[in-house]
Amino acid sequence: MANWRELRDASGVRYLLDIARDDGISAKVCLADTALTESILFEPGTSIETWQELAVIRNLVRYGVQPDFGYRAGRRYHLTSIGLLGFTMLASENLLNALAVLDRFQSLALAICPVTTEPDEEGLWVMFDDRVLPADAKSLVIERGISAVINLVSELSQRQVHPAVVQVAHAAPTPASHQSTTQPYAIQYSAKRNGVLFAAQDLDIPLPQASLRSRLEGEQLCRRMIDELSLTPSRSPTVNRVQKALMNDVSTLLTSKQVAVRLGMSERTLHRRLAADGKTFAMLNDSIKKKIAERLLAESNIGVAEVAQHIGYAEAASFSRAFLRWTGTSPGRWRLLNAVEE
């Protein structure tokens, strides 16, 4: 079962709006009934819920888009689009290892449906599970995902990689000739799976920017990021959503009003819902800042001023005062005590 309330980066929707604009479709059409506005989407660090991206996709399908819309949207995705995960894939030894990283940390990717890899005697399949998707959204989501992974693989290899096989479960569009002229690879329609098969000879070629140390560090950071995004599970959807919004923009001192806007509610409603769960916005914000600060102080050698900047404080002094309030001691003292305990 998909978690449609899960927070995610807004890049996917921005790419959809870019393609729609190219095709003469207004943002108003795309964003109908999504509680999103263009101004919110293009604010730095904006997060949205998965259902909102799905709603944009369904709006586009209802409006009527070109048969190759999903494939064109997928080509907007780059390694930089998936941040830390992209860096870790880039540092992998070869394409096989990079795709294993994608499989292992797919929750950090921008896919809207589950992505898995499956070995094949001819290579490796990257497959997309459309069972979580409503019927009207399946073809666009799957085509976007296939196009995106092919684009990422080509960026990793620093050359155009042509998949051995591309299969989709949905029927061919009408007219099929329009789409076939825009894709550099053949597509098998009405298949039993949605996926891309990359040939064995492509999987073993060393990647140009491979670095074992960087990959291991990247994987460690990916695990930490997933842990941080999970935070302490709460039965309250509002608490979980606020926590994830704060984590997604941890280097900024967000106000409750800014978070409320990103969650599609008024500031008053946000405070009321948190109060009903026995929480306050300041309590959640302090908890996250404290947790990240302690991890940085314990597991890195960066200075107090850099730790402060990482969690949104412009000055070390203001961070130190906050840290003293959280822990009863100074950052430097806490680091020293922590080192002694280890």
- 98-140 pLDDT, tens per residue? 999 998 888 788 788 889 999 999 999 999 999 989 999 999 9
Which residues are CB-contacts of 108 (< 8 A; sequence separation ≥ 6)?
82, 83, 84, 85, 222, 225, 226
Predicted pLDDT at 208: 92
Predicted pLDDT at 340: 41
pTM: 0.69
Residue with the bigger pLDDT between 113 and 226: it is 113
Write b or e for each residue in 214-231: b if 16 or more Cβ atoms lie within 10 A of its Cβ, otherwise e: ebeebbeebeebeebeeb
- The values of phi and psi at residue 329, to 5°, are -145, 170
Mean per-residue pLDDT, 304-333: 91
pLDDT digits (tens, 9 = 90+) for 161-215: 999 999 999 999 876 545 544 677 899 999 999 999 999 999 999 999 999 988 9
Mean per-residue pLDDT, 244-254: 80
Given a cut of 90, whether residue 89 has pLDDT beyond it is: yes
Given a cut of 60, whether residue 27 has pLDDT beyond it is: yes
Predicted pLDDT at 292: 84
Quick one: pLDDT band at residue 341, thresholds 50, 70, 90?
very low
Mean per-residue pLDDT, 300-328: 89
173 DSSP assignment: P
CA distance linking residue 4 with residue 265, whole number of Å: 17
Given a cut of 80, whether residue 33 has pLDDT beyond it is: yes
Lowest-confidence region among 9-23, 75-89, 267-281, 298-312: 298-312
Average confidence score pLDDT of the chain: 87
198 DSSP assignment: E
Torsion of CA 325, 262, 52, 280, to 10 degrees: 40
Mean per-residue pLDDT, 307-332: 91
Query: For the chain, what percent of residues have pLDDT higher than 70?
Result: 92
Predicted pLDDT at 2: 61
**Contact between residue 312 and residue 253 where contact means Cβ atoms under 8 Å apart:** yes
107 DSSP assignment: G
Given a cut of 80, whether residue 38 has pLDDT beyond it is: yes
Mean per-residue pLDDT, 320-329: 93
- The values of phi and psi at residue 155, to 5°, are -65, -40
Predicted pLDDT at 102: 92
Tokens of 142: 């799957």
**Contact between residue 7 and residue 244 where contact means Cβ atoms under 8 Å apart:** yes
Quick one: pLDDT band at residue 240, thresholds 50, 70, 90?
confident
Task: Looking at mean pLDDT, say which of 77-81, 227-231, 298-302 comes out highest.
Answer: 77-81
**Contact between residue 180 and residue 107 where contact means Cβ atoms under 8 Å apart:** no
Quick one: pLDDT band at residue 253, thresholds 50, 70, 90?
confident
- The values of phi and psi at residue 117, to 5°, are -115, 150
Predicted pLDDT at 91: 93
